[in-house]
Chain A
Amino acid sequence: EVQLLASGGGLVQPGGSLRLSCAASGFTFSNSPMSWVRQVPGKGLEWVSTITDSGASTYYADSVKGRFTISRDNPKNTLYLQMNNLRAEDTAIYYCARYYYVSGSSRYFDYWGQGTLVTASS
Chain B
Amino acid sequence: DIQLTQSPSFLSASVGDRVTITCRASQGISSYLAWYQQKPGKAPKLLIYAASTLQSGIPSRFSGSGSGTQFTLTISSLQPEDFATYYCQQLHSDPITFGQGTRLEIK
Contact = CB atoms under 8 A, between A and B. Distances in A.
B101 A108 contact: no
Nearest to A46: B98
B7 to A, nearest CB: 14
A50 interface: yes
B44 A108 contact: no
A112 B98 contact: no
A106 B49 contact: yes
A1 interface: no
User: Most chain-B CB neighbours within 10 Å: which of A35, A44, A46, A62?
Assistant: A44
A106 B53 contact: yes
B43 A45 contact: no
A36 B34 CA distance: 16
B78 interface: no
Interface residues of A, number: 23
Interface string B83-104: 0000101010011111111000
Nearest to B47: A108
B104 to A, nearest CB: 15
Contacts of A88: none
B87 A45 contact: yes
B55 A110 contact: yes
Interface string A83-101: 0000000000001000011
Nearest to A108: B49
B101 to A, nearest CB: 5
A95 B43 contact: yes
B95 A95 contact: no
A109 B91 CA distance: 10
A59 B94 contact: yes
Given A44-B87, A112-B44, 19 more contacts: A44-B98, A44-B99, A45-B44, A45-B98, A46-B98, A47-B96, A47-B97, A59-B94, A59-B95, A62-B95, A107-B32, A107-B49, A108-B34, A108-B50, A108-B91, A110-B46, A110-B55, A113-B43, A115-B43
3 nearest CB pairs, A to B: A112-B43, A108-B49, A107-B91
